[in-house]
Structure formats: C-alpha cells, structure tokens
Amino acid sequence: MQITFQQVEYRYSFNTPFEKLALQDINLSIPTGQFLAVIGHTGSGKSTLLQHLNGLLKPTEGLVQVGDHKIKAKEKIKNLKPVRQKVGIVFQFPEHQLFEETVLKDICYGPMNFGVSEEEAIRRAKELIVKVGLSEDVLRKSPFDLSGGQMRRVAIAGVLAMNPEVIVLDEPTAGLDPRGRKAIMDMFYDLHKEKGLTTILVTHSMEDAAHYADEIVIMQKGRLKRKGNPAEIFSRTDELFEMGLDVPDVVRFQYEFEQKTGKKLPKTCLTIGELATAIRGIRDGGEDL
C-alpha cells in the first residue's frame, strides 16, 4: 500500500497560546512494499510523522494519502476505521497495551473489533503466536504471567492479527538486549518479506536502519532533511556527525580507516564482509596501508 505526504504541516495545540510547530513542508512518497527507516534526534518529528499514518493525528496543512484513503487538512474525515485496519502501529513498549485475561483474548480483540468472526480471529491467533516465536500453549495463559519479551511478542501478534498492509514500528526494540533486539527485528523483516508489507521503522539504532531498510529518511527540527538508500545516507558521515547523529560501527571503522591512512575506499561499506573486501582490494592493488 503506497503512502504519500503532500506539503504536510502539523501544529500541536493549534490556534491556542501553546501552539507548537512539529512538522513542516513534508513531502514524502513510500512505495508499496518498501521498508523505510526514519531516524533523527528526539523531538525531530519522527513519532509525530508516524501518527499521521492512521489518523491518530490530522495535518493542519496538506494531505496524507494511505492507499485510496485521504486525510486532508481542514476537511472532516467521515470514517477512519478502514485506514486503521490497514495500518498497524507497534508503539514503544507495546506490552503496556495488553489488558485481557488471556493471551488468546488479547490477540483476538483487535480483529473482532473490526468485524472479524471469533472463529477467524482464533485461527489468526494460533497462526501468529507461532510466527512471533511462541508456542500455542501460551494462548491459554494470562499475558501478565509472561516475561517482558514474551509480552512484547504477544502485543505484536495482536497488531498483526488485523492483517495490516502497512506496519509502523516506533522503536519496537526499546529496552531489549542485543540478542532480543535482533530476534525481534529479524522477525519483522521476515514478515515484511513474506506478506509484502509496507514497513516504516522509527529507530535510534543506525545498525538496524542500515541492515533492514531499503530507504532511510532523516528528520531534523520537523523537516525532512534527507532521503536515500542506506549507502547514500551513511556515505555522508561528516554531515551526520555535524547533526549529532551516529553511524553504524562498520561505517565508523571505515571513516576512521580513511582518515588515518588517507586511502578512500571505493564505496560505503555496510557489512564487515564488504569492508574486508574493500580493504583487501587496496592491499592487493599494491597500495601501502
């Protein structure tokens, strides 16, 4: 499902003494099936941008189009239900949204609220609990008897149970250790590929942005500062450092290597394998390191 932002502006507390400009002049097209990462400092407008995707926020100027559905400033929206059914949002610490007495009821709540039969909702719950890495036995348990990592997977299954065409991930690995973070991100990436989802990830992890995303957007002070593929974005190392943003460890190593040796590698490397090959090419070419 394609998503388009056209001249979008958003102001909190609009037309009040507390008005604050949060987004301005946002023009962005996200093609169907793309994995987009959104990076930037806290307060740069990342989460505000995401909340426009299913009508949690409505632009004060401009237009947001999600598939065939338009959310336009100054126009009343008759029914946001179809948009919210197609766009699933996984917020930070999604386990805090669990509330039912069993895992099964929690996963079934969303789809049944959108008119799915109980039988179909249960079928989806049984399928998805396995896809998120848990066993069917968990469905009978209270979500509050599970570990934090298990609760997060249950909450994610609840979002996926609505069969969204777009999945929005707002720092979904917050608070997890490196192994848990990788497991969750690998799971999302597998689902993205398997179901052909349009996936939008807000993250502070440059490693995740480099490893999983097709395109990366940099937000700064409510504006879309730059958009490009990971190699294009992370090739601007000096610019990112000036903005106070980090880069993946491999990119930082390459940057320091080039600074110390005076040798420019032929491309921005995003994996250790690429970096080793590039350095070997210089060495085999007879250049001193």
- CATH code of residue 75: 3.40.50.300
Q: What is the pLDDT of residue 101?
A: 92
Domain with 259 in it: 248-289
Where is 281: in which H helix or E strand? Answer: helix 272-284
All residues at 6 or more sequence positions from 5 whose CB lies less than 8 Å from its CB, including other chains: 26, 27, 28, 29, 49, 52, 62, 63, 64
Instruction: Tell me, yes or no, whether 137 and 277 share the same domain.
Output: no
Instruction: Tell me, yes or no, whether 55 and 45 share the same domain.
Output: yes
Instruction: Tell me, yes or no, whether 103 and 203 share the same domain.
Output: yes
Q: What is the pLDDT of residue 286?
A: 58
Regarding predicted confidence, which is higher, 288 or 251?
A: 251
Instruction: Tell me, yes or no, whether 136 and 253 share the same domain.
Output: no
* Number of separate domains in the chain: 2
Regarding predicted confidence, which is higher, 284 or 213?
A: 213
Q: What is the pLDDT of residue 80?
A: 83
CA 29 from chain centre, in angstroms, equals: 15
Question: Does residue 171 register a pLDDT over 60?
Answer: yes
Instruction: Tell me, yes or no, whether 141 and 21 share the same domain.
Output: yes
Instruction: Tell me, yes or no, whether 231 and 137 share the same domain.
Output: yes
| Residues forming a β-bridge with 20 | 12
Q: Are 215 and 37 in contact (CB under 8 A)?
A: yes
Instruction: Tell me, yes or no, whether 152 and 13 share the same domain.
Output: yes
All residues at 6 or more sequence positions from 61 whose CB lies less than 8 Å from its CB, including other chains: 7, 8, 9, 73
**Whether the model pTM is above 0.75:** yes
Instruction: Tell me, yes or no, whether 39 and 132 share the same domain.
Output: yes
pLDDT tens per residue, range 172-211 = 888 888 888 898 899 999 999 998 999 999 999 999 999 9
For the segment 12-27, the average pLDDT, to the nearest whole number, is 94
Q: What is the pLDDT of residue 289?
A: 53
pLDDT tens per residue, range 225-245 = 999 999 999 999 999 999 999
CB count within 10 Å of CB 36 equals 21
All residues at 6 or more sequence positions from 176 whose CB lies less than 8 Å from its CB, including other chains: 149, 152, 184
Instruction: Tell me, yes or no, whether 35 and 78 share the same domain.
Output: yes
Question: Which is nearest to 81 in space by CA: 71, 93, 90?
Answer: 71
Q: Are strands 20-30 and 166-170 parallel, antiparallel or unpaired?
A: unpaired
Strand order in the sheet with 3-12: 20-30, 3-12, 61-66, 69-72
Instruction: Tell me, yes or no, whether 241 and 278 share the same domain.
Output: no
Tokens matching residue 62 = 């401009």
For the segment 243-250, the average pLDDT, to the nearest whole number, is 94
Instruction: Tell me, yes or no, whether 289 and 238 share the same domain.
Output: no
Q: Are 61 and 8 in contact (CB under 8 A)?
A: yes
Q: Are 206 and 181 in contact (CB under 8 A)?
A: no
